[in-house]
Structure 1
């Protein structure tokens, strides 16, 4: 004999008062982030939310850059999310990086490629990884450094995207080291010219300085 169908009235159903806002914020986050795998990303979203950690959410919907390779899932917006989640650590555990990477639904093959290029082991120097991540987006060293400025700057969106000159020097020298084909004299000439610009800007540098036709070529 079938069990009688349970009947509920509105007074019997208790809806947590925070549920509508939680679902609203989740929906907005999904729209901004546009994850490739909604279920995988959703699991990471609520797991991260329950731990009070930085959410795997982009600041805004992202339009792919013209220089971005079509065979990559990594974007400047996703790299910015990873930076927010991991930059508090100078050295990041490779397993934790892998988990954050997967939660954003980025192909693991690209992560492995960057890790191998940087010769990283169980601990990953975050700033070096960021530099290689920016480089993997495609384009020249100048383009990679512009991405880095956009991610690292404390300026408001649409501002000058300034970063400390010493941070720029670290990123630039690391990328030239990985490249291996840029003459030392060329590197020093570019840095000398940019240091003069940085001294005019309280030790800061911005993309328009090294993208200018007046700046010696970076690569």
Structure 2
């Protein structure tokens, strides 16, 4: 590669030499009466300048190559990066492993993922005699489950497997979601609790709130009846 850079430098030197020589000679012949010494001075200066520019070109190209080597990732670094990526991939696959219904029933509700918590509540409400449609996902308008009882009317349910209290913004969005999905009633079920503002909003909008303590009691009585 060094020879290539040297060859490029020689080409640059040649081009610069010719350009300076042509320019200098054009000036020399355009001015009558100049001493013949200027002629040789132009030739010598052109050669010297060409060598200078050619050397600069070669040096800069070599420095750029060294800089790329120093900043590029080493093979060891790439190996570590791949190893970390493999660990993350394995961890993700493990965390995304779908639990069975039995595993969900036997798990601590607060260790479940949001999706598995929805599945748990789906199983619970089916056992309570409701037909259940799982909505969830993007564009669900804060509605995870739609229950339909024997009376025929629909209930929009939002499931929040949260540690922090549920705020009134969730209540307000569920109010809109209830209307979007054509539901008669709306419930919010959470493993935590509700803020004061959420309780006030739910009271005004006639939305039922089921907090963590109430949920634990319901699930405990239900699970005791299950044969897993």
Q: Is TM-score (shorter-chain normalized) higher than 0.5?
A: no
The structure that has the greater radius of gyration is 2
Which of the pair is proportionally richer in strand? 2
Which of the pair is proportionally richer in helix? 2
